[in-house]
Amino acid sequence: MSSHQPSTEGITSITREKAKNDILSFLKQLGINAIEVGKCIANVEIRKGYTVYIYPQDLVNVQNQLKSFIEKECKPKGIDKLFIWPVTEGNYRYIFIGFFENKVNTEGLLYLYEFIIGTP
């Protein structure tokens, strides 16, 4: 079974800066306090979602998935502040969005819940 992807021929990709600004703007619209940081570090990173934002038409999907992340992961835990930071791994570039669990668990570990967006 294959899925049809719309052609991106002739469409210019967005910049990483535009992706970041669009994400920050959307989070603000949702009433989320987003703080730009250089990096977040935890004992355990829990990746809760991934999408890409390379072309302008990807924005609606990014917004829908971010909203779902907030509804399913943030709100039940009482989170209204997210951290946002850039990551480069080899040739791949990402914007990570995440939050720390409000408490250190019984094993003494700090958990970081992340949503990842692949960018140009």
**Sequence-ordered list of residues with C-beta below 8 angstroms from that of 113, at least 6 positions apart, any chain:** 46, 48, 73, 98, 99, 100, 101
* More confidently predicted of 102 and 47: 47
Look-up: residue for tokens 């720390």?
100
Alpha-helical segments (H) within 13-116: 16-29, 59-69
Is the overall model pTM greater than 0.75, yes or no? Answer: yes
DSSP count for the chain of H helices, then E strands: 2, 5
Give percent of the chain above pLDDT 90.
Answer: 84
Lowest mean pLDDT among 9-18, 25-34, 46-55, 111-120: 9-18
> How crowded is residue 14: how many other Cβ atoms within 10 Å of its Cβ?
18
pLDDT-derived band at 107 (thresholds 50, 70, 90) equals confident
Task: Work out the average pLDDT over 91-103.
Answer: 94
- Residues 13 and 23 sit within 8 Å (Cβ to Cβ): no
